[in-house]
Amino acid sequence: MNFDQLQAFASSSPLLTTALLGLTVAIIVTEIMRLFRGYAALAPAQLTALINRDNALVVDLSAIGDFEKGHIAGSRNVTPSQFDPESKLLNPAKALPVVVVCRNGAASASAAQRLKKAGFQNVSWLDGGVAAWQQADLPLVKGR
C-alpha cells in the first residue's frame, strides 16, 4: 500500500480512520501512564529472582481458605479487607521490595498502587497472580 492508497482509504472511510487513530492514541497514552505509575508488573520468573536476590516481602491478598490451599513460599497472608499500608506488617517494609499477589492479579495491582501512594519505594505485583505462578510450574506451599 502506498501513500496515495492510504489517503484514498482515509477519505472514503472517515469513521474507520477516526477509530484507528483513537485506538492508537489510547494505546500510546496507556503505555506512557504505565511507565510512570511507580510500580511494576512482574512475571513469575522475575518474582522468583526478586525473592532470591533481594529477599522481597510477598504479600498474598487471597482469602484465608485459598491461601491455605496454596501460596508462594514465604508469602504473608493479608485479606483485602485487612489490607492497610500502615499496618505493623507492611509499614516497616517501606524501603524493602514489596510484591503484592492475589489469585488472578486484579486485586494485587490496585493494592500495589495503594502502597506506592503510601510512600513505599519498591513496589511490584505479580501479573496474573497465583494462577500465573502455577502455569509457570512453580511450587506452592499448603497450609498456613
The neighbour count for residue 59, using CB atoms within 10 Å, is: 24
How high is the pLDDT of residue 36? 65
How high is the pLDDT of residue 64? 92
Same domain, 48 and 101: yes
How high is the pLDDT of residue 35? 62
Enter the C-alpha cell of residue 97: 521490595
Same domain, 28 and 83: no
What CATH number is given to the structural domain containing 59?
3.40.250.10
How high is the pLDDT of residue 34? 61
Tell whether 142 is covered by a domain: no
pLDDT in tens, 5-32: 888 888 898 898 898 889 988 888 867 7
Same domain, 17 and 75: no
Same domain, 52 and 76: yes
Q: Which domain holds residue 69?
A: 38-135
Enter the C-alpha cell of residue 50: 526478586
pLDDT in tens, 74-127: 999 998 888 888 888 888 888 889 999 999 888 888 899 888 888 888 999 999
3-state secondary structure the chain: CCHHHHHHHHHHCHHHHHHHHHHHHHHHHHHHHHHCCCEEEECHHHHHHHHHHHCCEEEECCCHHHHHHCECCCCEECCHHHCCCCCCCCHHHCCCEEEEECCCCHHHHHHHHHHHHCCCCEEEEECCHHHHHHHCCCCCECCC
Same domain, 68 and 22: no
Same domain, 99 and 78: yes
Same domain, 52 and 95: yes
Q: Is the pLDDT of residue 133 over 90?
A: yes
pLDDT in tens, 67-82: 999 999 999 999 888 8
- Measured in whole angstroms, the distance separating CA 46 from the mean position of its chain's CA atoms is 12
Same domain, 30 and 72: no
Same domain, 10 and 81: no
Domain count of the fold of the chain = 2
Q: Is the pLDDT of residue 33 over 90?
A: no
Q: Is the pTM of this model over 0.85?
A: no
Tell whether 19 is covered by a domain: yes
